[in-house]
Amino acid sequence: MYEQQRRPEQAAQGAEHGPLAGFTVGVTAARRADELGALLQRRGAAVLHAPALRIVPLADDSELLAATKELLDRVPDVVVATTAIGFRGWVEAADGWGFGEALLDRLRDVELLARGPKVKGAIRAAGLTEDWSPSSESMAEVLDRLLEEGVDGRRIAVQLHGEPLPGFVESLKAGGAEVVGVPVYRWMPPEDLSPVDRLLDATVSRGVDALTFTSAPAAASLLSRAEERGLLAELLAALNHDVLPACVGPVTALPLQALGIDTVQPERFRLGPLVQLLCQELPARARSLPLAGHQVEIRGHAVLVDGELKPVPPAGMSLLRALSRRPGWVVPRSELLRALPGAGRDEHAVETAMARLRTALGAPKLIQTVVKRGYRLALDPAADAKYADA
């Protein structure tokens, strides 16, 4: 089973200088979560994994069986294969029902369109050859091709895959096509919701720096669970301000964008480019300050001091963020106390957390004590004017 969270200390030891060292990334994927998590961890991130949905195969489902029989009885003119896992699942299900060879024979006689290279691989592994595949891996380009060819009176089968296909089927029908959906699998909420709840709690408390989404159903499922728990407004606030929502592509981003959330997406809709995008975006969002002759970069659960990663306890990070909002200015103990989660009213908690923070940073002079007033970051004199005017 995939490790749900890698401790910051482990991330620091495993990849001290990785571009994602010191950041925590939430993974909502159900499929290929291990691959995505490994890519993130190799670049130094701590990973919190909570599959926001589960895939239910339809090998025994009456819908898929009925659609397959219908296509065997009335061969379509065009078949659009949208995902590799879906196409393989369809062929395997047909095999199980004793229709495998018959289905492949029918597919040899139709115009077979593949959404992208992985689908092409699945088609060729089944002994078939696709007629065409878009260079953009976009269903919009598939739709453009079909409409240019003309679809009036044509029978088109579309292998559905749980993702929304905005306007695709509607546009084909409007053009006069008969569209047959082939539902190979469907998305369902996870059986155990506790990992999703932990991820939601971590997100609204800013315990993660980014949330990754690899399917629109996963995004919709997470939003739905947040609404059930009364956390939707808090989740949206976190994603709009502090937690970076990163989607593998524009279709995946639709449920988030519908609620006004801006997302980042790689140019190529793949896991590798998604991780590379995070490697650029998260360090760029980190606060970097010249303090007491050192360059300090404040990340999610750790601090880079002159390029060296220093894991910091959560209470220490809370204090450091509060101080960094006004670099060089004195922050009263009472204000720092409010920044400490669950600290109550005892200002001694600030002193204890501050001592541990200085120890973790390994450079006590980064933070100055101002007697009877509070604490401040020891901003270098040359930077004072810049932050005084900010």
DSSP assignment string, 52-119: S-EEEE-TT-HHHHHHHHHHHHS--SEEEE--HHHHHHHHHHHHHHT-HHHHHHHHHTSEEEESSHHH
pLDDT per residue over 64-94, tens digit each?
Answer: 889 999 999 999 999 999 988 889 889 988 9
pLDDT for 162? 60
CA 349 to chain centre: 35
Last residue of a domain, one of 137, 162, 187: 187
The single-letter code of the amino acid at 108 is: R
pLDDT per residue over 165-194, tens digit each?
Answer: 668 889 999 999 999 989 887 778 888 999
Inside any domain, residue 234: yes
Inside any domain, residue 2: no
Share of the chain above pLDDT 90, in %: 59
C-alpha angle with apex 106: 105 to 112, nearest 5 degrees? 110
Q: Which residues 6+ apart lie within 8 Å of 1 measured at CB? A: none
Query: Within this chain, do residues 139 and 84 fall inside the same structural domain, yes or no?
Result: yes
Instruction: Please tell me the pTM assigned to this model.
Output: 0.73
Query: Within this chain, do residues 71 and 40 fall inside the same structural domain, yes or no?
Result: no
Query: Within this chain, do residues 329 and 369 fall inside the same structural domain, yes or no?
Result: yes
Q: Classify burial at 86, counting beta carbons within 10 Å of its beta carbon; exposed 0-12, middle 13-18, buried 19 or more.
A: buried
Query: Within this chain, do residues 264 and 204 fall inside the same structural domain, yes or no?
Result: yes
| Nearest of 209, 246, 301, 279 to residue 43 by alpha carbon | 279
- 343 pLDDT band, cuts 50/70/90, is low
Query: Is the pLDDT reported for residue 199 higher than 90?
Result: yes
Helix (H) or strand (E) run with residue 308 in it: strand 308-311
Query: Within this chain, do residues 137 and 67 fall inside the same structural domain, yes or no?
Result: yes
Query: Within this chain, do residues 98 and 163 fall inside the same structural domain, yes or no?
Result: yes
If you search the block for the tokens 């720092």, which residue do you land on? 336
Query: Within this chain, do residues 318 and 238 fall inside the same structural domain, yes or no?
Result: no
DSSP label of 364? G
What is the domain extent for residue 281?
Answer: 8-53+190-285
Between 162 and 293, the higher pLDDT residue: 293
Query: Within this chain, do residues 201 and 217 fall inside the same structural domain, yes or no?
Result: yes
Among 93-97, 106-110, 181-185, 241-245, which is the least confidently predicted range?
181-185
Query: Within this chain, do residues 20 and 101 fall inside the same structural domain, yes or no?
Result: no
Q: Which residues 6+ apart lie within 8 Å of 372 measured at CB? A: none
The single-letter code of the amino acid at 353 is: A
Maximum average pLDDT range among 28-37, 90-99, 166-175, 230-239: 230-239
Q: Render the burial of 228-262: b for 16+ CB within 10 Å, e for the rest.
A: ebebbebbbebbeeebbbbbbbebbbbbbeeeebe
Among 19-23, 115-119, 341-345, 367-371, which is the least confidently predicted range?
341-345
Query: Within this chain, do residues 175 and 64 fall inside the same structural domain, yes or no?
Result: yes
Domains: count for the chain: 3
Averaged pLDDT of the chain:
87
pLDDT for 14? 37
Query: Is the pLDDT reported for residue 104 higher than 90?
Result: yes
CA 291 to chain centre: 34
Inter-CA distances, 124 with 84, 107, 120, Å: 11, 12, 6
